[in-house]
Amino acid sequence: MIRRRDFLQLFGSGIGIVAAAGALSTSRAQRATKSRVSRKILIAHRGASAYAPEHTLESYRLALKQGADFVEQDLQITRDNQLICLHDLTLERTTNIKELFPTRFQEETVPRSPSEQGSGVAGVPVRRWYASDFTLREIKQLDAGSWFNPKFRGARVPTFQEAIDVVRGKAGLYPETKAPDVYGRLGFDMERLLLDALRKNHLGTRTSERHTPVIIQSFSPESLGKLFSTLNRQLPLVLLINEEMRRHWLTAAGLAEAKTFSSGIGPAKALLDKDIVRQAHDVGLSVTPYTFRSSNTGRFKTVSEEMSYYLYDLGVDALFTDNPDLFPRAEL
């Protein structure tokens, strides 16, 4: 069982180490600091998704080669109740679903712009191919690589089981319950499917955490609450936080509430400052921001420089990156 205290040790938050280092000699303080920073955790965001098509076995294998500590899996559910690794609820962005199943779409109307939402202005019709409308057999026919680069033609959408088989023993698994409320309305139980898969593979146990640790994440407090009550603290849970959630969860009261059902928070990186990191650590929560990518570094010259700032200046415990090979590990 991984308790919150163990989770913080796993994520190398170094709470208390930095303060104590000030009372040590310079050499001892340097050793303490190196010990702290060497435990920062690298999570490969959708695999090594800067270099290979996201959520494919090719991307996961490359992430392992590039030294990922954890590999992330966004989870969706097929019509026949199978967990697959896919970021979107729909298949059209990352597969050739339109070519193979041109008539199997749902047509929806969306606002022309965010400002028109709820205004009564006529929207734009769009066609969407939802993963939950297709069986696993049908989804396995899709090309999930060509959209990224022709050399990945023939890459497939992996099942969660296939992801486990590739990652097990080499790194940790970092699944996300994606849109569990949407699936719940459709009659699916994402949390049960996820826990069943972990139990089937003997993951989430004291023995397995040594070679294949598991951390579960979600933007849904309800989903994490459901997992928390079922798991009885057996696995670390991380509450993801976007801009819309910040006003509630990135406050003293919100962080205290998050602590009642989760082991850490995963905010969008732009929402963080040193004070929020400190407050989260003070209540025993780890901090894992998203997403760091070489294609979007803002005011930083490189993604390595950006990651280094968050890890060693702001003091976050881990981070999600599309570029595992550029993760700035401290030298021992």
| CA-closest candidate to residue 82, choices 158, 155, 29, 19 | 158
Per-residue exposure over 220-235, b if at least 16 CB sit within 10 Å of its own CB, e if not? bbebbbbbbeebeebb
Cβ atoms of residues 69 and 172 within 8 Å: yes
Distances (CA, A) of 99 to 53, 102, 141, 158: 19, 6, 11, 20
Q: Which residues are bridge partners to 83 per DSSP?
A: 77
Note the pLDDT of residue 120.
65
Predicted TM-score (pTM) of this structure: 0.88
- State the Cα–Cα distance between residues 201 and 248, nearest whole angstrom: 36
Cβ atoms of residues 104 and 96 within 8 Å: no
Burial of 261 (0-12, 13-18, 19+ CB in 10 A): middle
Q: Output the CA torsion 246→50→102→177 (10° steps).
A: -40
Note the pLDDT of residue 157.
99
Q: Output the CA torsion 323→324→328→332 (10° steps).
A: -170
| CA-closest candidate to residue 46, choices 97, 101, 93 | 93
H/E element holding 110? strand 106-110
Cβ atoms of residues 126 and 109 within 8 Å: yes
Output the 3-class SS for 218-267.
ECCHHHHHHHHHHHCCCCCEEEEECHHHHHHHCCHHHHHHHHCCCCEEEE
In the chain the first and final C-alpha atoms are separated, in Å, by 29
| CA-closest candidate to residue 158, choices 49, 48, 65, 54 | 54
The dihedral built from the CA positions of residue 320, 3, 201 and 211, taken in this order, carries a sign that is positive
Domain ranges of the chain: 4-15+33-326
Q: Over its length of 332 residues, how does the chain's per-residue pLDDT go in tens digits?
A: 334 344 445 543 333 322 222 332 334 444 444 444 448 999 999 999 999 999 999 999 999 999 999 999 999 999 999 999 999 999 999 999 999 999 999 999 988 777 666 666 678 999 999 999 999 999 999 999 999 999 999 999 999 999 999 999 999 999 999 999 999 999 999 999 999 999 999 998 888 888 999 999 999 999 999 999 998 778 999 999 999 999 999 999 999 999 999 999 999 999 999 999 999 999 999 999 999 999 999 999 999 999 999 999 999 999 999 999 999 997 53
Note the pLDDT of residue 86.
99
Third-level CATH fold of 4-15+33-326 = TIM Barrel (3.20.20)
Which residues carry out catalysis?
A: 45, 87
Cβ atoms of residues 204 and 211 within 8 Å: no
